[in-house]
Amino acid sequence: MALGLALAGAGLISFHGVSSARDDASGVVIDYSTGNSRAQYEETSRELEARLASTPPVLSQQTVYFTQIAIQKYEKIAAQGGWEQIRTGDILRLGANTPVVAQIRKRLMVSGDLDPGYSLSHVFDATLQTAVRNFQLRHGLFTDGAVGRETLAAMNVPVQERLQQLRTNLVRLTAMGGDLGQRYVMVNIPGAEIEAVENNAVVSRHTAIVGKIDRPSPLVSSKISQINFNPFWHAPKSIVQKDIIPRMREDPEYLTRYHIRIYDQRGNEIDPKMVNWQSDEAVDYLLRQDPGDKNSMGSIRINFANKHSVYLHDTPQQSLFGSNYRFHSSGCVRVHDVRKLVAWLLQPNGNYDQATVDATIASGERIDANLSSPTPIYMTYITAWGTPDGIVHFRPDVYNRDAAGDLAIAGQDS
């Protein structure tokens, strides 16, 4: 499960050599800092929405065809020698003047992000900035137009590796390119992205937070059946043991501060001071967090049947949505702008619109809304695909399933 409890004690992890705010073993957010302002993130979200609005869903026959075209393109690039590795320890942005800029220009020309008619100047100008933003967009990176460590790492992935990604994902896409339903939700785990699809068109796209490497989000094919407004959060035994017990040893007021109550097997509430936190005694109790602004699931939980006990949900920690690295949960999926998704899911009910969803949340009342028409959901693993506008998208193989030859397909582990 994904926790959203803010804790003291910052830590960093490294992904492709990039430091990012880290959760502890439970998915608990430790560091709010992402390096990107909220305004920057919202601007990027609008740009992504505008650029991708006309593209078909990731899971579609069109995507299969254009991924085949992308494979042909990258086969030609590979036959011509691919691109060279770029070495620099600096963050390069508009105005920089260094020979490395010429290397970046050449790299982006090879992949088609920069017109080959431009010079190999050492100056980082506005044209190059736009090309870098294009590259970042199709790699699912924050589109700031600067070449930092994450962008550079993506540029340095060899063409043969990219080509293999495309071939592997063509198999995945082909398997998932059939009739998925008139309305469905697709969670692309390596992209930490969500699509709401209706009549083979994307209604909305949402940034997500998915499972960390040691607690991966599973592949699931199911149907969304219920929305919980202002839900309680029940701590799984694994999180109680691995995360909450150690936290209580450090901070005896932790549960009280985050409105988490303890109940015995008869439903009697227990004072946290009566529990021996130097042992695993608490694992035998029910730990339940009250609804409210500190609740780990935020104001919404989206339910669908699956053997992994995962679900989609809101979160009080919105800052991580603005990070390139969005693998922080313990398996569940946190959804940015979740109210928009919920309003769409409840549309067939006829008595919910965006205003009703907002008002229900604002009431603070515990309400369960069953979907009159359960909506299919597919949690998939797609790291490369092509689109009709000629853009070839790549996402990090965060769970190392491409390299292992694991053709992860939603539905095989639902």
Could you please report the per-residue DSSP string of 225-260? EEEEES--EEPPHHHIIIIIHHHHHH-TTHHHHTTE
Query: What pTM value is reported for the model?
Result: 0.80
- pLDDT band for 50, please (50, 70, 90 cuts): low
CA dist list (Å): 196 to 270, 350, 382: 42, 18, 16
Give start-end residues of each CATH 1.10.101.10 domain in the chain: 83-157
Q: How many residues are recorded in the chain?
A: 414
In this structure, are residues 374 and 225 in contact, taking their beta carbons and an 8 Å threshold?
yes
pLDDT, position 291: 77
Q: Is the dihedral of CA 30, 214, 193, 180 positive or negative?
A: negative
pLDDT, position 241: 87
Report the side by side order of strands in the sheet with 286-289. Answer: 233-234, 286-289, 260-263, 269-270
CA dist., res. 60 & res. 58, Å (int): 6
pLDDT, position 12: 23
Mean pLDDT of 103-113: 97
Mean pLDDT of 231-237: 82
pLDDT, position 46: 55
* 47-51, 287-291, 303-307: which is most confident: 303-307
pLDDT, position 403: 77
On the question of pLDDT at 39 being above 60, the answer is no
On the question of pLDDT at 201 being above 70, the answer is yes
- pLDDT band for 35, please (50, 70, 90 cuts): very low
CA angle 227, 261, 357 (to 5 degrees): 20
Q: What percent of the chain has pLDDT above 90?
A: 64
On the question of pLDDT at 221 being above 90, the answer is yes
Mean pLDDT of 317-345: 89
Mean pLDDT over the full length of the chain: 84
The 3-state secondary structure of 362-376 reads HHCCCEEEEEEEEEE
Class of domain 83-157: mainly alpha
- Of residues 316 and 43, more confidently modeled: 316
- pLDDT band for 411, please (50, 70, 90 cuts): low
On the question of pLDDT at 6 being above 50, the answer is no
Q: What is the DSSP letter of 97?
A: B
Q: Is the dihedral of CA 105, 397, 239, 223 positive or negative?
A: positive
pLDDT, position 404: 65
CA dist., res. 239 & res. 241, Å (int): 5
CA atoms within 13 A on the CB side of 297: 27
pLDDT, position 116: 92
Could you please report the per-residue DSSP string of 126-141? HHHHHHHHHHHHHTT-
pLDDT, position 20: 32
pLDDT, position 242: 84
CATH of span 1-81+161-231+291-414: 2.40.440.10
**pLDDT tens digits, one per residue of 141-171:** 999 999 999 999 999 999 999 999 999 999 9
Q: Which two tokens stand for residue 353?
A: 């619109």
Which candidate, 396, 334, 249, places its Cα nearest to that of 1?
A: 334
CA dist., res. 59 & res. 160, Å (int): 24
pLDDT, position 232: 81
CB atoms within 10 A of CB 95: 10
Give start-end residues of each CATH 2.40.440.10 domain in the chain: 1-81+161-231+291-414
